[in-house]
Amino acid sequence: MRLLQVFGLVLVAVASHADAQTRPPPSRAELEAVVERMRQEWKVPGTAIAIVRGEEPLLLKGFGYRDLEKKQPVTERTLFRIGSITKSFTAAGVAALATQGKVEWNKPVREVLPDFRLYEDELTARVTPVDLLSHRTGLSRHDSIWYYNRDWSREQLMSRLRYMEPSKDLRETFQYNNFMFLAAGYLTGRVLGTSWEDAVGKLIFQPLSMTATTISLEEMEQNRDHASSYLKDKQEAIQKAPSYAFGSLAPAGLASRLGHAPGKKY
């Protein structure tokens, strides 16, 4: 969240400058100074930003350290854990299939995933890919099911959807739900006759030449230029924290800090 706030304020700062008629846009040095100042104020160990116009990269730069203890700097190629930002890749994969005509946004998931089953038959028959990706199926989180069963297969987790009783009606309200992104990722793999991991590679990484990107925590940690995980304690001190992989729930999030249990506040 802190990292997203950094990006958000950088974008706001750039937009504010760009909209101003009385002064020119900020220079690269001014922009870098803003990022570094915010990084230090929020005690972010390290971050990296990329600004691209068309196909031209205007700024690719790392700030701070990927490893505080060893004083290893963040570079423009440092690999970071992205947690639930993984959902963006899952959504992009479904969008790619929709563009190819292999999935229709507003047709029931059941039409392309026959074994998809929710608590009520009527709900199962109506839920669409848009609903999965919009957190509006009526299901609350139910995160304990995957958190305490991280050795379960994707199929095993999917089979538990039918036992999750909705707390709201379909499309009534927003309720964050990791399982629906699991379902979206599972759908993507099934449509292509492969896994979600391979589907993301074929639909996103390969077309964009993202050769250094990985959706494996193990592969990331084998790369020498990867960022360690950190968190703040109650005294705002920065502490290194080990990470864990989400396992079969990867379409909803690849990796997070250890100890992020459902219902626990940080």
Residue 224 contacts residue 70 (beta carbons within 8 Å): no
pLDDT at 147: 86
Domains contained in the chain, CATH given: 2-83+214-246 (no CATH), 85-205 (3.40.710.10)
Mean per-residue pLDDT pooled into runs of 10, the chain (266 residues): 47 50 81 95 94 89 96 96 93 98 97 96 97 97 90 95 96 96 97 96 94 88 93 86 83 66 42
pLDDT at 132: 97
pLDDT at 126: 97
Cα separation, 149 vs 248, in Å, equals 10
CA distances from 41 to 21, 66, 68, 183 (A): 29, 17, 16, 39
pLDDT at 266: 31
pLDDT at 244: 72
Cα separation, 166 vs 6, in Å, equals 36
SS3 content of the chain, % helix, strand, coil (to 5): 40, 15, 45
pLDDT at 263: 47
Instruction: Tell me the pTM.
Output: 0.83
pLDDT at 3: 46
